[in-house]
Structure 1
Amino acid sequence: MNDNQQNAPAGLALVGDIGGTNARFALWRGGRLDAIEVLACADYPRIEDAAREYLRRIDRPLGDIHSVCLACAGPVGEGDFRFTNNHWVIDRQKFRAELGLSHLLLVNDFSSMAWATVSLDAKHLVCVREGTPQKDRARLIIGPGTGLGVSSLLPTAGGGWEVLPCEGGHVDLPVTSERDFAIWQQLRELHGHVSAERVLCGRGLENLYRISCGIDGVQPKCASAAEIGELAMAGDPYADKVLEHFFLWLARVAGNAALTVGALGGVYITGGIVPRFLDRFRQSGFAEAFATRGKTSGPYLAQVPVWVMTAEHPGLFGAGVALEQALKSGR
């Protein structure tokens, strides 16, 4: 440990939530975020440069930081990390050496959403389906946004948690009605394999609206997911019908995932779409469709509660929680 680290504020860490376009940074101490800043990835040749710029902006010397957790968009392994949608590469050894770190933790960006559920205040969770969570069972985290993220969280001995990252957004899209099948057929013609993400994300909502208009002979009034949502909120009955179908498909995919991982600890919905239309989502058929299925699976899901996460920066918060647990466990 160098002299700067000896004089650094106790427990102060740097956390980041790094996507293809933006890098969000914050300080983490005592279970709280502070000094949140958003930087454009394209403005910096390397992630080390962005981290240094963040600390400069908040007037913190590099020596104050000795632990870092970065939530990264993409599958995180043991080696170096190359971002899918920007030019940055994280060489773990070089990153630690250049910034003088004693600890560097990389986690998948959606895994950080799972970590966030461990410590989020109740004010950041809106219940959309009543139930009784079982504390010793898995939790499911699912979120339609730019893509469809899915992960699960398992309780471990000693009161800890283990995140299981996955690629659950790419499972087959479930088909449960003739209407579903008609849409699925057109998606298959366009894309071959029809994953859940083909419908349950921003571009997926656009797919759903465009194909639905074609099936029904309706002239489209908008093109983007944001426009579809705004039109639905403004009272357009057709856009609202499409948004309802989106929510019902989310219920089916979330219910299937909950059955697969045994998520009797509850389901947490995040991402950029559902929280934006929270009031409409609460009025939708999601809660009923989630557990309306066979005589065995229906009762299994009957008492599984569902919440929507409304925290402004859950990825940053989850990175902080993940770092805390890693430091306590000595990983």
Structure 2
Amino acid sequence: MNTHTPSEATMARTVLVTGVSDHIGARVAAALAADPEIHRVIGVDTVPPPSLPREDGALLGRTEFVRVDLRGPDVTKVIRAADVDTVVHFSLVSGPSAGRTAMKEHNVIGTMQLLAACQRSATVRRVVVRSTTAVYGSSPHAPAVFAEDTVSPEVSHHGYARDAVEVETYVRGFARRRPDVATTTLRFASFMGPGVDSALTRYFSQPVLPTALGFDPRLQFVHSDDAVEVLSRMARADHPGVFNVSGDGVLLLSQCVRRAGRPMLPMPAPAFRLLGGLARGARLVDFSPEQLALMSHGRAVDTGRLSAELGWKPKFTTAAAFDDFLRSRGGPGTLPVALVDWLAYAMTRR
């Protein structure tokens, strides 16, 4: 366990948070800006952050927003001009809404540019990077539970998971070149909760939930509140290393479907892939190859290292996070009823 306390470690004075147009990224910036011991919080993104009503009436508190594309040189200027000492890199795109090429450039090239700026900086002393448990992949040959040092039998070659693998490679290289910087990598399970917009939250919002016939994968979620808390804690004190982040426990997909109160439509893999293509084309749900693998084989991780390091556990279990998401989403989903009827008819004709 890291024995540093905030008073013993380098205190965060000026924090830069990337990805503040995201609901969680904006909340992290707001939480840090509310800390009187942090002098300045700078939020960067290509678009302004959303409005986040708070009890005190503020939106993002003292956070200063700067429009920056991480793929360009401007982030170096911001870090140098503000004497940034702590960087929280949340800006990873998990869905290809802007196209796969733009997504990869933002995730991989953007991270490379940010880390290069940190490496050249004389003031940066702490870097916290958002990653994902998707780096472990989803495979029938996977272990029951992944620890941080578990070697995955199958590395994803698709989308966000592949980007995250590359990002972590660059983060490890940065940590070797700048051993004086406390570098933290957080592998989050799928985000869940009010305000979260992801492939999984869109999937569970549909009126009928297609599943891969013969599979009932284990899923894990981390509540958005707990994601904000762990990112804020890591930004305030030195906790170098790699940490899995998830709510306790797992849910089977069938349990999620029952909790959602929606009918399940099991279908063979080819039909599942066909539906994925239709849903992706209609911009309803991102049924990418990595999502199809997760919805077939699932994934579970051990979070003991995080609990030991922080002396803290997420407030929400996986089940509680999912239930809170369901409470926040009233009404039917958006999958066209005609499409559901056609798929059901096609299944009966096989």
Under a length normalisation based on structure 1, what TM-score does the superposition of the two structures give? 0.34
Greater fraction of residues in strand:
1
Higher relative contact order (CA 8 A, sep 6+): 1
Q: Which has the higher helix share?
A: 1
